A and B are shown apart, each in its own frame.
Chain A
Amino acid sequence: MGDPLYVHGVTLAAFVIMLVKVVVAFAALMLAVMIVIWFERKVISDMQSRIGPNRAGPWGMMQTLADGIKLFFKEDLIPGQANRKVFKLAPYLVIVPAFVAFSIIPIGGIVTVAGHSFELQVADPPIGILLLLAMSSMAVYGVMLAGWGSGSKYPLLGSVRASAQMISYEAVLGITVTSVVLVTGSLSTRAMVASQAASVLDWNVFRLGVVPFLLFFVAITAELNRPPFDLVEAEQELVAGYVTEYSSIRFALFFLAEFMNAITMSAVMVTLFFGGPDGPRFHAVIWLWPILWFVGKTLVFLFIYVWLRAALPRLRYDQLMELGWKVLIPIALGWLLVVGAVVVDRWWGLVVAAGLIGAMALLGRAMAVGRGEAEGEAAALASVDSTGGGDGGPRAGTAGTATVGVAWREGDA
């Protein structure tokens, strides 16, 4: 367990290799962000029958770079009402977790260079996947403080929405990841990949039933604030959400972090459910194939994100919350318990599944009761409308007018 690079302690060679790994991963991530932003713009323009970026470089590939350079040359504004310290701190709190979260992703197999064998993965700590959850929680702070520190309405509303949304879907995220940990027996991402390596049918997406993967995918999409869950930056009502007041390089860092997270989360999905760098290898350059498989699988998910953005309308906020709390969390928890029970004993699985049906019935009843209270409220409101004859819109308006008219005439007389 762990990276075999450090079996002899941190020797100079090990340290240099580690540094090279980190720098390469850093550079690759930046390059990937550049390409992914171009990819998204190009794909979505094709889906919308537009041309998309086509000026900078071949097929407009340098467009992202050009945009980035442009932002360096823009005036860096801090709004007068902003809390300056918080406003400056927030970009760090968003970008640093985005970098760190990527470190646990296994990109390839174990390679040996000049007698030193090491994993193609920045770090393989025992806590593994927990680091990812921790970093995605940290990002909530960045978003919240960015909105709060701006001292402006739209950013504040956007960030309050964002933090409620992100913590809601984090619960789903945590529970579905637990079911992967359950069949792996370890938190290490490398161990998760190894446990899926035997055949395609051993990939967790099939081994756990497809449900945890679907839940994880929805939760990740909401966690990333990607469409159709991008209420945080709903342009029509919140301008740009929590980044409204950010300009120049600060805005660029938020943008960078957003896409970096999209890449990391796609990679996490591949790692947890699709065998990571696992796939057929051929004899030519044996170390390269896992990397190609990994990149290919990740690209599929990045494409799906763009596809969702082009195809789906945005959810309403109450729909988002109801989906998260009343649908995804109960299903995730129930499925986790069934998986656990089946792994212990098939009979236990049956017992828990039967219990689950009962629990679903109970939940349905509870929801009906909850809705019934809301209906009672509406009925009370209706009675207020008809008797009081108050400000109830056009329907109640006529009755109110009549009484008022009478009162005035009496006063006049």
Chain B
Amino acid sequence: MVQYLPILVLLALGVLFAAASFVASGLLAPRKKPSASKLAPYECGIIPTREPPRRFPVRFYLVGMIFVIFDIEIVFLYPWAVDFKQLGTFGLVEVLVFAIVVFITFLYLVANGALDWGPHRRVQVAVADRTVENTVERITARVQVATAPGRVATAQTGGGGGTGGMIASGSEQETATAVSGAADGD
């Protein structure tokens, strides 16, 4: 056990060093003058509006669990590697069988896409009356309505019209109604 003594001393020295740096910093640093903006979480100057996330993609936890499988395999490999020469063929076969079992679980994981981190497209339930045109307000389009009603009419039919009051105000709705009425007339 005496071989571990220097490690213990180095550990103590490391802790002491860190503690001493904190003490020195406490003595040398200016007095603390906390203010609301200093104590706020750093968000590049923008006032944080949301709490940091409490939930994470399940893949992170999955990686943690899969890591345990491989770590256990490694734990079993080390004694074999150290006593390898005495164990000989017997040890090799044992480890091969063990490796095959772990490999099969690994195959299962890979085949099920458990280790796929690629960008996935999110499947969203489609809501019929929410489209790009009625969700995003297009200022230019409205200006064009005033100048050239005939051409923009069809685009505006879906845009301003179908919102059910999502973005468009009452007056816009009227404009759209009038325009689309003209379009229907065509």
Contact = CB atoms under 8 A, between A and B. Distances in A.
Contact of A79 (B2, B15, B18, B40): B40
B44 interface: yes
B175 interface: no
A248 B63 CA distance: 34
B170 interface: no
Given A19-B9, A124-B3, A370 B112 contact: yes
Contact of B82 (A79, A185, A249): A185
Given A318-B117, A370-B113, A388-B126, A330 B132 contact: no
Interface string A396-409: 01001111110111
B184 A125 contact: no
Interface residues of B, number: 94
A122 B118 contact: no
Interface stretch (A44-52, A266-274, A343-351): A343-351
Among B21, B88, B125, B128, residue most surrounded by chain A Cβ atoms (within 10 Å): B21
A interface SS class: helix
Contacts of A102: 10
Nearest to B176: A408
Contacts, number: 305
B99 A333 contact: yes
A170 B13 CA distance: 27
B81 A370 contact: no
B39 A370 contact: no
A309 interface: no
Given A391-B126, A402-B158, A174 B71 contact: yes
Contact of A22 (B9, B25, B108): B9
A6 to B, nearest CB: 5
Contacts of A394: 132
Which of A187, A318, A322, A377 has most B Cβ within 10 Å? A318
Contact of B3 (A126, A252, A367): A126
A373 B116 CA distance: 11
Nearest to B160: A408
Contacts of B48: 152-153
A340 B99 CA distance: 12
Nearest to A393: B132
B7, B40, B66, B85: most-surrounded residue (chain A CB, <10 A): B7
Contacts of B95: 337, 340
6 contacts: A152-B41, A152-B52, A371-B113, A407-B129, A408-B161, A409-B180
Given A248-B29, A337-B99, A371-B113, 6 more contacts: A75-B29, A99-B17, A153-B53, A384-B123, A384-B126, A385-B126
Interface of A: 2-3, 6, 9-10, 18-19, 21-23, 25-26, 71-81, 91-92, 95-96, 98-100, 102-103, 122-126, 130-131, 150-154, 156-157, 160, 164, 167-168, 170-171, 174-175, 178-179, 181-182, 185-187, 239, 244-245, 248-250, 252-253, 317-318, 321-322, 325-326, 329-330, 333, 336-337, 340-341, 343-345, 348, 352, 355, 359, 362-363, 366-367, 369-371, 373-374, 377-378, 380-381, 384-385, 388-394, 397, 400-405, 407-409, 412
Interface of B: 2-7, 9-11, 13-15, 17-18, 21-22, 24-26, 28-30, 32-34, 38-44, 48, 50, 52-53, 56, 60, 63-64, 66-67, 70-71, 73-74, 77-78, 81-85, 88-89, 92, 95-96, 99, 103, 106-108, 110-113, 115-121, 123-134, 157-159, 161-162, 177, 180, 184
